[in-house]
Amino acid sequence: MANFNDKFLLSFEKDFNVNYPKINSVTYKSLVNYASDLDLPIQRWYRYKEGYSIKLVDQILTKYNVKQGDLIVDPFCGSGSTLLQAKINKCNSIGFEINHFSAFLAKVKTQDYKKQDVALFIKEIANLKKVKSKQKVNIPKLSTIEQLFDNDALLYLLTLKEKINQIKSKKVSDLLMLAWLSILEESSNYRKAGNGLKFRKTIKKTIRDQEYVKNLFFKSINDIQSDLNFAVEISGKVNTSVIEDTCFNLSKYTKKNSIKGVIFSPPYANCFDYTEIYKVELWMGSFVSEYSDLKILRKKGIRSHLNGYEIESKLAVESVPELGALVNKLSSKKLWDKRIPKMVEAYFNDMFRSMTEIYNGLKKGGFCVIIVSNSAYGGVIVPTDLLLAKFAKHLGFNVSSIEVARNIITSSQQYKETEKYRGYLRESIIYLEKN
């Protein structure tokens, strides 16, 4: 079997039309990043760090001449960026998401609103301004909860939550709940960093007490209120649904050959565990109430992390032999965790399974655009963009191009180890068409 790195990657890449950005300023860089959406209505309601810009979705819809009423699907919809732009462009859309917290964001951002909802929303803000902390509230069972929040801030947050849950209008309480969820990270003594939560070093400088939380909450509400007229304007024109199920079940919810376009960014093969990174939102928002709930969620997701599993099929290595060579190469290395080669194989089994569902659901002439990052372990590149493209070709897709959006930064050790292969450490956009 070929040695995965030497010359192999290059010859592998020659199978596809890989385009590197020539000038830095014209890359897709800002569009594969959520940060550029922080001043856009509705998108700014929650900063979903793993999300992309709705401007990228708009470009893709335009490129493929998507018409009003066409069906767009996002099998990994996260916070709903694809669905929101599809709605703005008057396309029907369906998103799949297994994380209840993310699915909630996607749903609240894309559901229909009426003028009456706005009036009720404004009325409830006045009531919430009067809220005083209760001393007895239901505290989530997350073991680290007391380190995560200042006691005063925690009591205030949980009292607010109780009040929000008592609101009769479901749409209004959803909007307020989203505002509440959006400030949890900033209200706490931790921040999301890499694949987990890190305590803030600057904790002494900022006192995250009740007053601080209150200001954050009403600022977030203010943003939502300012955007609600736009939300009303785009309402009632198309169907948007968020399905809380794995995209492996896509064919249960969509007809064969019915989808015009699929746009998504899946989890990456980077040991990232979404249930870990969003655990505070999941517990605080009562999306999980026991550790067993968290475990169930983790099991449903694409296996991009190291939390124990078996390889149940040979789908991936049999379809794309290059993957077998890569897994062997990784197995021959001393890596920081010995489960990594298995994770890589399991990840591609899951991704190939998802792509088969997507291929079957697409119409002839339909398209699929995937935004994905490569990774590296022990100096070995995991060229996810090329492997997904190879599998797409195996399924019958035309791989039109792979556009490199930006280079990615790994740990300094990986950076040294992968010097020769730096061009492969990248985030790419894969363009596929079903002929």
Ligand X SMILES: C[S@@+](CC[C@H](N)C(=O)[O-])C[C@H]1O[C@@H](n2cnc3c(N)ncnc32)[C@H](O)[C@@H]1O
Q: Please give the residue ranges that form the binding site for ligand X (CB under 6 A).
A: 48, 50-52, 75-76, 78-79, 81, 96-99, 102, 246-247, 265-267, 274, 300-302
Q: Are 312 and 349 in contact (CB under 8 A)?
A: yes
What is the nearest approach in angstroms of ligand X to the Cβ of residue 169? 26
Q: Are 370 and 333 in contact (CB under 8 A)?
A: no
Angle, helices 170-182/151-166, rounded to nearest 10 degrees: 160
What is the nearest approach in angstroms of ligand X to the Cβ of residue 15? 26
Q: Which residues lie below 8 Å from residue 233, measured CB to CB, with a gap of 6+?
A: none
What is the nearest approach in angstroms of ligand X to the Cβ of residue 11? 30
**Between residues 347 and 397, which has the closer beta carbon with respect to ligand X?**
347
Distance CA 254, CA 357 (A): 10
**Between residues 75 and 383, which has the closer beta carbon with respect to ligand X?**
75
| Per-residue exposure over 147-171, b if at least 16 CB sit within 10 Å of its own CB, e if not | ebbbebbbbbbbbbbebbeebeeeb
What is the nearest approach in angstroms of ligand X to the Cβ of residue 1? 30
Give the burial class of 185: count Cβ atoms within 10 A of its Cβ; 0-12 exposed, 13-18 middle, 19 or more buried.
middle
Pairing of strands 362-373, 190-193: unpaired
From the list 125, 208, 220, 212, the residue with the least C-alpha distance to 179 is 220
**Between residues 45 and 48, which has the closer beta carbon with respect to ligand X?**
48
What is the nearest approach in angstroms of ligand X to the Cβ of residue 49? 9
What is the nearest approach in angstroms of ligand X to the Cβ of residue 36? 12
**Between residues 43 and 220, which has the closer beta carbon with respect to ligand X?**
43
**Between residues 59 and 189, which has the closer beta carbon with respect to ligand X?**
59
What is the nearest approach in angstroms of ligand X to the Cβ of residue 264? 6
**Between residues 98 and 172, which has the closer beta carbon with respect to ligand X?**
98
**Between residues 149 and 274, which has the closer beta carbon with respect to ligand X?**
274
Q: Is residue 401 within a helix (H) or strand (E), and if so which, with residue range?
A: strand 398-407
According to DSSP, residue 174 is labeled H
Provide the token pair at 180: 């509440």
User: 282: how many CB neighbours lie within 10 A of its CB?
Assistant: 25
